[in-house]
Amino acid sequence: MPLDIPRLRQDFPILNREVRPGVPLAYLDSTATAQKPLAVINAMDEFYRRFNANIHRGVHTLAEESTAMYEAARAKVARFINAPSAEQIIFTRNTTEAINLVAYTWARVNLKKGDLVVLTEMEHHSNLVPWHMLSAERGVNLEFVPVMDDGLLDLDIYRALLARTPKLVAFTAMSNVLGTINPVAEIIRLAHEAGAATLVDGAQSVPHLPVDVQALDVDFLAFSAHKMLGPTGIGALYGKRPLLEAMPPFLGGGDMIKTVHLRNFVPNDVPHKFEAGTPAIAEAVGFGAAVDYLETIGMDAVASHEQEIIAYALERLEEIPGVKVFGPPADKKGGVAAFTLDGIHPHDVAQILDGSGIAVRAGHHCAQPLHEKFGIPATTRASFYLYSLREEVDKLVKGIYEVKKIFG
């Protein structure tokens, strides 16, 4: 069934806000961070009001309740991506930390000078910089699957790179600029046939599409709560159990140990081995509430709504003289429309749109190499989610015409 968006929007208090008197908010920046439903806000509020205590080590009532809520959230996240067990979900601060965890543990054990890591030209900096750092430290080679003019990956070049027997293929499931939905299952299958491990940046895919880690056979998947209606400050790394068990700890301190002596220590079991110190407990509870909310709606329904919205947005944007939208057509992309407007800097576009209450993002979106690929310094990006309306697309288009009018 199609989503009842006007009713659903009532769950999101911020969407009723006026950014200034008489100017209602049109929030078109969900790729940067999603807004939060009352279910998430209330879950975190209730945690702090009734259950707040540190987890795992306490035996009093609050500590036991808090621990149960934290671990229940882990189980919900595991279920959401069809992980075989909750123990294969490691809570991190965000997607960036999850990728860095793999780079600092698995990669530094398994990669040596001359080994090849295959990335793509559309990667977010979070899936570029950790590998640059590893390359500088260890002499690991990096190669990149090109992005073609239509915003799709050149899989012929990818196959040629696999012939060089890389040790790791790390790539985004969905571009945060182009919106391109990559053929994740095929990329993983080909990588495994070449003997490479795989890491998927799921920051944009997990919030918007059904994701099944067992069906994909992915080795590592990283994603963030705040892009899927949850709070900031918490994300997750999924890993295959044998890989996680073989990896050394990431950070040292409390809760990631079994025993500590003056001259040695024994690390804890997975997942606790990777969760040093007091974690983001309330945020985990909010993460679990966000998963509950999305599961109630259904990820197929979320994806279907976004397909309808992005198709309409591309149709309307392409009507505007001087607008160039980057990326593939609607049937090959998620709810992201990054564009330029002839003769007008994207930051000026975004600032003028804000005057009409339209929240979009302008800049390189932490994907500078991709913008260099297309020979542009920046784009204006409108992005959509399950609460987005066609009327907001119309407001965006009207706002762009106003920008053109102001700049003559």
Specify the CATH number for the domain of residue 318. Answer: 3.90.1150.10
Residues 145 and 277 in one domain: yes
Please list the active-site residues.
366
Residues 347 and 358 in one domain: yes
Decide which of 243, 274, 296 is a domain's last residue: 296
If DSSP codes are grouped into helix, strand and coil, which group holds residue 57? coil
Please report whether residue 342 resides in a domain. Answer: yes
Kindly give the confidence (pLDDT) of every residue in the chain, 408 residues in length, as a single tens digit, with 9 standing for 90 and above.
789 999 999 999 999 999 999 999 999 999 999 999 999 999 999 999 999 999 998 899 999 999 999 999 999 999 999 999 999 999 999 999 999 999 999 999 999 999 999 999 999 999 999 999 999 999 999 999 999 999 999 999 999 999 999 999 999 999 999 999 999 999 999 999 999 999 999 999 999 999 999 999 999 999 999 999 999 999 999 999 999 999 999 999 999 999 999 999 999 999 999 999 999 999 999 999 999 999 999 999 999 999 999 999 999 999 999 999 999 999 999 999 999 999 999 999 999 999 999 999 999 999 999 999 999 999 999 999 999 999 999 999 999 999 999 998
Host domain of residue 274:
41-296
Here the tokens at position 170 are: 């790390």
Taking the C-alpha atoms of residue 345 and residue 380, their distance in angstroms, rounded to an integer, is 9
pTM, two decimals, is 0.97
Contact 234/94 with Cβ under 8 angstroms? yes
Nearest to 373 by CA among 73, 123, 77: 123
What's the confidence (pLDDT) of residue 57?
A: 82
Decide which of 249, 269, 296 is a domain's last residue: 296
Contact 134/111 with Cβ under 8 angstroms? yes
Please report whether residue 225 resides in a domain. Answer: yes
Residues 230 and 330 in one domain: no
Please report whether residue 108 resides in a domain. Answer: yes
Residues 278 and 374 in one domain: no
Nearest to 188 by CA among 177, 179, 176, 205: 205
What's the confidence (pLDDT) of residue 383?
A: 98
Please report whether residue 36 resides in a domain. Answer: no
Please report whether residue 148 resides in a domain. Answer: yes
Q: How many domains does the chain have?
A: 2
Contact 276/254 with Cβ under 8 angstroms? yes
Please report whether residue 35 resides in a domain. Answer: no
Residues 175 and 287 in one domain: yes
Please report whether residue 257 resides in a domain. Answer: yes
